[in-house]
Amino acid sequence: MPAAESLLHDPAMRPRRFVAGGPLRGTIKVPGDKSISHRAVMFGALAVGETRVTGLLEGEDVMATADAMRAMGATIRRDDNGTWYINGVGVGGLLQPDRALEMGNSGTSTRLLMGLIASHGITATFTGDASLSKRPMGRVIDPLAQMGTAFTATPGPNGSQTLPLMIRGAAPAVPITYRLPVASAQVKSAILLAGLNTPGVTTVIEPIPTRDHSERMLTGFGADLTVEEQDGERVIRIRGEAELKPQTIEVPGDPSSAAFFIVAALIVPGSDLVIENVGLNPTRAGLVEVLRAMGGRIEEINPRIVGGEPVADLRVCHSPLHGITVDPAVAPSMIDEFPVLFVAAALAEGRTVTAGLDELRVKESDRLAVMATALSSIGVAVEEREDGLVIHGSGGARLPGGTGTAVATHLDHRIAMSMAVAGLASDAGVEVDDTRPIATSFPNFEALLDGLAQ
């Protein structure tokens, strides 16, 4: 898959055309789970003593989290074997940063760190790249402000609050009970992290369950945290002024990164691929179940528990797929995987209908609009609705591909990787306008793909 010649004038952009090759065969490992990596760094930086982490995702987003924790007093280093050592400052011990916290493209870093700082008596300024600076922060600001934290944000479109943003933590903060108005693991986690240094009990009520890495890992670090089911809702309580204990953490492979290779193996004829050490937390495994419902052959090998998280090796074989109506209730367990699911749907027999995906409009890009435009440009029949897409599949036939303008990725790593996968099942290939954003979550994506698709 040779890189395309640039059709763009910005010399910093890295366009590339992804084209069909042979079947995907062999065994690969994907990078460590991004959500778990962020939390391992943050919680290790709040523990007293040395936390050791293996398998940490070394993408730009997680490195932004590490840099921020260093700026607030933690010592973080990596040895030559890839093990990370984090010496923390203790809950309540964060230091005043002497510079703005640069978040790059990482919404997770920004929102979770806002929660951490919210109950510490320090002031910090958050900055980010052009994409992150457009993303709304109000859903995190609202509950943290109820705890006593003060914010000065940049006004955005439609009354939104965006970066650059200054936060002045409350010491002491006030515990709250907060029912999430939308399903968001980032908002939930931000409140729980603020609760770590808040006297009393902070409570979050989830009408719809979201990924639970924060609850699992905080419990592992020794936080006094409970989860109960009440009237069909999850009620999470954390007792503040916690003392976290250092841990040894093995980060499983990121299911959101594995998703691109799962779909690629399903849609490229002759493929038989094993993806090792994939995290299968039930709050993250929605894509696997949806693809199985579409006819995908995905086998779990050697299922096991690693660091409190369910893990397995996945064997994925090329499969004829058929369209389905995706239950909106599954959306929180695969919210980041919908762009590549849309690609799988484009190769399926019949129609795939998705709904309840309003959250995708406020990700790194408006992923519904961007994917609808991108897929249409390579010959896929797509209907864009307010909260989802309807995709009419090719029945397994290769997609026409793109022969004109490169697909606009809008600085969104998941758009770039999803359209790269689409190129593997196209006649003319698919050119994406910029592969640089891929490094935020999956630095070796292209190298892995090149090694398989010969």
Is 361 annotated for ligand binding?
no
Secondary structure (DSSP) of 307-371 = TTEEEEEEEEE----B--BPPGGGGGGSGGGHHHHHHHHHTSBSEEE----GGGGGSSS-HHHHH
Is 61 a catalytic site residue? no
Token pair of 263 as six digits: 């779909």
| 90 CB-contact burial (10 Å; exposed 0-12 / middle 13-18 / buried 19+) | middle
Is 107 annotated for ligand binding?
yes
Is 414 annotated for ligand binding?
yes
| C-alpha to C-alpha distance for 324 and 137, rounded to whole angstroms | 34
Dihedral angle computed from the Cα positions of residues 289, 293, 296 and 299, in that order, rounded to the nearest 10 degrees: 40
**Annotated catalytic residue within 33, 129, 336, 412:** 336
Token pair of 216 as six digits: 């699992």
Residues 6+ apart with CB under 8 A from 144: 114, 115, 118, 151, 167, 190, 191, 194
Is 133 annotated for ligand binding?
no
Is 186 annotated for ligand binding?
yes
Is 17 annotated for ligand binding?
no
Tally Cβ neighbours within 10 Å of residue 269: 12
Is 35 annotated for ligand binding?
yes
Nearest partner of 286 among 210, 382, 365, 235, judged by Cα: 210
C-alpha of 138 from chain center = 19
Token pair of 318 as six digits: 């090329």
| 305 CB-contact burial (10 Å; exposed 0-12 / middle 13-18 / buried 19+) | exposed
Tally Cβ neighbours within 10 Å of residue 70: 16
Known binding-site residues for 3-phosphoshikimate equal: 34-35, 39, 184, 186, 336, 363
Residues labelled catalytic: 336
Known binding-site residues for phosphoenolpyruvate equal: 34, 107, 135, 186, 367, 414
Known binding-site residues equal: 34-35, 39, 107, 135, 184, 186, 336, 363, 367, 414
